[in-house]
Structure 1
Amino acid sequence: MKKPQWGAKNLKREHNVVRLRLDAGFFFERAVRSLDRHRYDKALKYFRLAVEKEPDNPVNLCNLAGILSEMGHFEESNEVLQRVLEQVDPDLSECWFYMANNAANMDDFDTAEDHLIRYLEEEPGGEFAQEAVEMLDMLAYELGRPPRKPEHKPKKEWLRRHEEARIQLESGRFLQATDTLEKLVAEYPDFSAARNNLALAYYYTGELDKAKKVIGEVLEEDPSNLHALCNLAVLAQHNGEREDRDKLVTTLKKWLPYHMEHTYKLGTTMGILGEHDIAYQLFRRILKLEKDPQASLCHYVAAAAFNTKRFLEARKYWRMAKDLDPSSKVPAFFLNQMDSWKGAPPPHLPTVSYHYQLPFEEQFSQLGQQVEKIPEQIKQNPLIRSSFFWALNHGDFDTKVQVIQVLEWIADRETEEVLKNFLMRKEEEDELKRMTLYVLKRIGAEVPFRAILEGREVMIHPSELSQEMPSWLENWERVLECCLAGMSGQYESAHMNDAQVIWADFLRQNHPSLPEIRKVEGWAAALEYVVAKLHGLSLTQKSVARKHEVSSSTVGRHVRLIEQACNVKGNSQFSWRSP
């Protein structure tokens, strides 16, 4: 893998003489060029020079071992791989697999078997695990005895914790991941993978300064750490630091990843940075190498193809994704969108996200069409959870309003912590924080609350909650309470939940120009009638008006406003508008 140094100066011209930087990256590029021309002797020479420049770089050493093996120098190749394991990176377990192949090529089957067993014990689910098992069967045949089986050793405790944190990140439990990774990094400060994931956790939770600090620490020790460089580039783009972002993109474009994991990381990063053509080439390369590609990989290629105006290719890969994952809504959604986008001028076409999930707006829309299942879907679907948590930290004002309202329906410990952290973010608007206080009160969160309001940190006790909430919320909350009290004992829980969802959507659609509330009971009666009509229940405006002691005309006027704002239709055809 090419390992250019972040922060390296450009070539300088002095007195018309070009000064070349003869670093490891330079020699690596020469080696790859020689390989493309099948000049293995020259490639070997350049790989040796790259190792001389960066003797502690495991990737350069693995490249050297690889070309030695290709040229039949199996013993020397294994000496290089042994050096990696003993002196450079003891956790680079794939070296055992490479050494097994070299030993087998030298007809040293017993040693090859030992190396394969070691690899499978270190990485039972590793990239080469299936090949290693097949190779053990072949060696057993050559040795004339049953194949040996690896011992299933428990995963090292620190690796187990890191895997746990990675799963937490993927499932949208960013605060839990942050806590796990902070403790892991404190105990194992040299564990760069954990520090890179900690930087991601900080980024997801909006702690951008902390994220940048952790990335800087990784690059200080390892200036060529690909994950850190990618994370720094994404952070620079997010912060609008165009010059730094462009320098990092120039650096990353020179990389030729050696490991599949690095290729995935670089491809995803290039997509996020808008370098879609490079992302397309990288993901296509992975797809060619993968024996059993996942639907998500086909989506990555399709997204990159669409973003580079390769529309026929995009359609082909989304069809592949649909065949591989017929239960997923994602490929079908984008295939349908391609039909609706057909004929649109290129400037009006959207940029497709590389995340293998529906766009945030579409998730909102589809949730609204199954309103009674909203809390369950959000709680159980990690992609939806992570989308909402991400949008709370990085969306615009209107999106954050919607997310704050939705988080009230989740109401678990993680949600409570996310909302409490949101109160302490200096850059967020006070109105959003006051809405957050309202939601925290509704879900019964533990008080008092710490918040930064009007530029100063305050502690808000229960008696002070009402005065810190937006003034308009108090009367609107009383409407919902009045409606639910009137429905209690006469309606099912699904009906009560619909009332809350419709009312929240009505507030969202009309905020900040909400109608004046002259009488709480009039709006409560209208909301009850809308819910009853939604479910086809027998209830007239006259009877619900009489129940709440208001006039039928008042109820009718409010009903029209609610139905118009929320696009509510009778007989369970409630359609929640896309944000």
Structure 2
Amino acid sequence: MIEKTSENDTDSGNVIPVTLDANFFFERAVRSLDRFQYDKALKNFRKAVEYEPDNPVNHCNMAGILSEMGNYTASNEILTHVLEKIDPAMTECHFYMANNYANMESFEEAERSLVTYLEEDASGEFMAESEELMELLQYELNRPAPLVRIRSREGVVEHDRARSLLEEGKFPQAVELLEEIIATSPDFLAAHNNLALAYFYMGRFAKAKECLNEVLKQDPGNLHALCNMAIFLQYAGDKEQLDSLLGMLEATVPFHQEHVFKMATTMGILGRHTAAYSHFRRLLKDEEVAGDAGLYHYCAAAASNSGLYTEALRCWRQAAKLDPESAVPAFFLSQLQQARGEDRPMPAVSYNYQLPFQEQLKQWKGNTGKFTEEVRNNPLLRASFFWALRYGDSSTKLQVTEALRWIEDEEMSEVLRGVLEHQPLQEDRLQEAALFSLQRLIGENLEAAAPEEEQVQAASSPKGPAEWKEDWQRIIDHTVAMMDRRYDAAQKKDAEFIWKQFIGSLYPDVPLFRNDGGWCAALEYLTARLHGRPVTFREAAQRYGVSVSMVSRYARRIDSECDTQGMLPGTDGLSPSTTNI
């Protein structure tokens, strides 16, 4: 109750002065709220706004009362007014609006406001509530939110994305993102560790070690960095430093599941298989991960490499039960049983839960579709390709380089460019395979893909004609048109490339092509054979209305210039014993 001063009251000590300002009405509004008198509270908050129209808090209080009363539209109108006219930096308004939209079942709008709040709010005052609301919205919309970053957790969302890229084997993209994170958050140690791994998988040891040194500078006891450094030192051949670091690691007994796994894999990579086996055995006792077939393979590999064949047999059998569709446990069980039957040691087993590289190449022979799917979905396999290109022997490098042409993605183009630019290949055939694969992937001129010195060396990239003639193009067009619906786009592209390579090898002495049908039939035949399709000279001749001998003669002429045999690992080429005339 406000008491007014009486005109007859001359005793100033009995007068209670009342200042009608925003604070006065704010306090009255709060008392009304305590009594659940929302109408009175709203009235008093409105009066507070009248006294201080530029104070965003008063407006937000009024919006909050309207929301409590179920008038979500009016509440959002006030919040929008605050952001647009009074204080755009008051980011919590986006959170309040998200809740209003969710109560109105406008879930798309709610998501938009919530994402804006998370991306713009620096304090993270409503992070817990935002996570709950995000779960609700993901359930209602049946999809994850398109959240790019959380400002109050700078780098966390980006780091999760970078980790996903690493798991997918997309190392160049992961590097790019992790470098951005570190530039803005230099104390984000997990990002430094993962950047080191990405560089390591790409074979860039110096950069990888530089990243780890930064982690250990900030946190000398960081287990992930210490384990990674041990692996890097082994590959660098620094035995003295490695022995010192290993002594410390072997005396460490990690507690957290993540640290136990890191220690186990590190010991395995470093050849301390007995220690690795001990750590993997600890993990198998953890119910949370004990159903993982891959973990049983790791344990089996450690046991086998330690000579504990009975334990290895048990673990691979369990892996086979948990993952019956995988060929990995069955392969190693067969290898182990064969070794025991012949009373000889089991060959060293990789800890990667996949078939040995050469075994995979055998299985992919003639099946580019399966090969493409495997490489795209298996990050360990992609990583092994990087390693093979940089550190494998000539035979392995050649097979991998030739195979990569079938993996049509930007990353593989970058890998091949890196091989050509940073590690020039010394053998002509290896150089030829790299250039051919890159051409197959990006469809550009071979000389543009290689450094200048390699343009001179490349045996497979003859200088092409300055002008492409109409009769040369006519043969391509006719062949591709005849191949339509029976061949996919990549196979038609290969036919075009073979023909362009053929013309380039003949230039400038390119003859006049009089029998288009014969050349087209030969070109389709070679493309079909390249992809393992069962096409005979007779079938190709009938399709184009020419003689069998013409197709055979023209195909051999093209093959002699382009060497189409061996373009795909395992193809037999055009030897007389394999052709069916």
Asked if these proteins are the same fold (TM beyond 0.5), I'd say yes
The residue that corresponds to 1:386 in the other structure is: 383
Is 1:236 the counterpart of 2:233? The answer is: yes
The one-letter code matched in structure 2 to 1:255 is T
Q: Structure 1 CA distance, aligned partners of 2:443 and 2:540?
A: 37
- The whole-number CA distance in structure 2 between the counterparts of 1:549 and 1:427 is 40
Q: Following superposition of structure 1 onto structure 2, how do residues 560-575 of structure 1 map, counting pairs within 5 Å?
A: 566=570
2: CA distance between counterparts of 1:333 and 1:183? 42
Q: Which residue of structure 2 lines up, in the alignment, with residue 546 of structure 1?
A: 547
1:401 aligns with 2:398: yes
For residues 335 and 152 of structure 2, the distance between their equivalents in structure 1, rounded to whole angstroms, comes to 44
1:541–1:555 CA contact under 8 A, matched in 2? no
Give aligned pairs, total: 397
**TM-score normalised by length of structure 1:** 0.57
**CA drift at 1:366:** 1.9
Aligned 8 A contact 1:499 1:528 in 2:
no
Residue type matched to 2:236 in 1?
N
Post-superposition offset of 1:201: 0.7
| Cα distance in 2 for residues equivalent to 1:169 and 1:407 | 19
Cα distance in 2, alignment partners of residues 472 and 548 from structure 1: 28
The change in CA–CA distance for 1:372 and 1:202 in structure 2 (over 3 A counts) is: closer
CA contact (8 A) 1:271 1:354 kept: yes
Q: Measure how far apart 1:199 and its partner are.
A: 0.6
CA distance in 1, matches of 2:531, 2:232: 49
In 2, Cα distance between equivalents of 1:361 and 1:155:
48
Which residue type is aligned with residue 293 of structure 2? A
Match of 1:470 among 454, 458, 466: 458
Distance 1:175 1:445 in 2: 21
Alignment equivalent of 2:487, drawn from 476, 484, 493: 493
- CA shift, 1:400, in A, is 2.0
Specify the code of the residue in structure 1 equivalent to 2:538.
Answer: L
More RCO (CA 8 Å, sep 6+): 1
Amino acid paired to 1:295: A
CA RMSD of aligned residues (A): 4.8
Contact 2:234/2:270 (8 A) holds in 1: yes
Amino acid at match of 1:194: A
Cα deviations by residue, 1:428-483 (Å, 9 ceiling, x for unpaired): 547545643333233336788586666xxx9xxxxxxxx446224659xxxxx999
Distance 1:196 1:179 in 2: 14
Taking only the aligned residue pairs, the percentage that are identical comes to 38
Q: In 1, Cα distance between the equivalents of 2:190 and 2:181?
A: 11
Change (3 A) 1:407 1:218: same
> Does residue 367 in structure 1 map to residue 374 in structure 2?
no
Q: For structure 1, which segment, 377-386 or 529-538, has the greater mean C-alpha deviation from structure 2 after superposition?
A: 529-538
- Separation in 2 of the partners of 1:162 and 1:173? 14
Amino acid of the structure 1 residue aligned with 2:253: L
Structure 1 residue runs without a partner (length 5+): 1-117, 126-152, 459-466, 476-480, 505-518, 575-579
Contact 1:483 1:525 in 2 (8 A): no
Query: For residues 416-427 of structure 1, what are the structure 2 equivalents within 5 Å?
Result: 416-426=413-423
- Corresponding residue number in structure 1 for 2:329: 331
- For residue 410 of structure 2, what is the aligned residue in structure 1? 413
Change (3 A) 1:551 1:169: closer
1 CA distance for matches of 2:323 and 2:459?
A: 49
- Secondary structure (helix, strand or coil) at the match of 2:482 reads coil
Q: Taking structure 2 as the reference length, what is the TM-score of the superposition?
A: 0.57
Q: For 2:481 and 2:457, how far apart are their aligned partners in 1?
A: 27
CA change 1:500–1:482 in 2 (3 A) is same
Between 262-271 and 430-439, the greater mean CA deviation after superposition: 430-439
User: Residues 396 and 198 of structure 1: is their aligned pair in 2 closer, same or farther, counting only changes over 3 Å?
Assistant: same
- Contact 1:495/1:531 (8 A) holds in 2: no
Q: Cα offset for 1:332?
A: 2.1
Matched, 1:270 2:263: no
Partner of 1:507: none
- Matches of 1:483 and 1:374, distance apart in 2: 28
Q: Distance between the aligned counterparts of 1:247 and 1:451, measured in 2?
A: 43
Q: Do 1:438 and 1:469's aligned partners in 2 also have CA atoms closer than 8 Å?
A: no
The residue type equivalent to 1:470 in the other structure is A
| C-alpha distance in 1 between matches for 2:197 and 2:216 | 15
Structure 2 counterpart SS, 1:255: coil
> What do residues 194-243 of structure 1 show as CA deviations (whole Å, max 9, x unaligned)?
11111111111121111111112222232222111211111122122233
Instruction: Please report how far the alpha carbon of residue 397 of structure 1 lies from its aligned counterpart in structure 2 after TM superposition.
Output: 2.5
Q: Report the residue type matching 1:336 in the other structure.
A: S
1:335 maps to a residue whose letter is L
The alignment status of 1:210 with 2:198, answered yes or no, reads no
For the pair 1:227 / 2:224, whether they are aligned, the reply is yes
SS class of match (2:422): coil
Partner of 1:296: 294
Equivalent residue number for residue 168 of structure 1: 165
Q: What pairs with 1:96-175 in structure 2 (closer than 5 Å)?
A: 156-175=153-172
Separation in 2, partners of 1:367, 1:283? 32
Report which stretch shifted further, 388-397 or 428-437. Answer: 428-437
C-alpha distance 437-530 of structure 1, shift in aligned 2 (>3 A)? closer
Q: Secondary structure at the match of 2:303?
A: helix
CA shift digits 1:294-352 (9 cap, x unpaired): 111111111101111111211111111122222322222222222333334646x3211
Structure 2 segments unaligned to the other structure (5+ residues): 1-124, 133-149, 464-473, 499-512
Which amino acid in structure 2 is aligned with residue 209 of structure 1?
A
Aligned partner of 1:357 in structure 2 is 354
Q: 1:186 aligns with which of 175, 179, 183?
A: 183
Q: 1:429 & 1:295 partners in 2: Cα distance? A: 42
1:420, 1:449 within 8 Å by CA — same for their partners in 2?
no
AA in 1 matched with 2:459 = S
Who is 1:318 aligned against?
A: 316
Select between 194-203 and 528-537 the one with higher mean Cα deviation.
Answer: 528-537
Q: Which has the larger radius of gyration?
A: 2
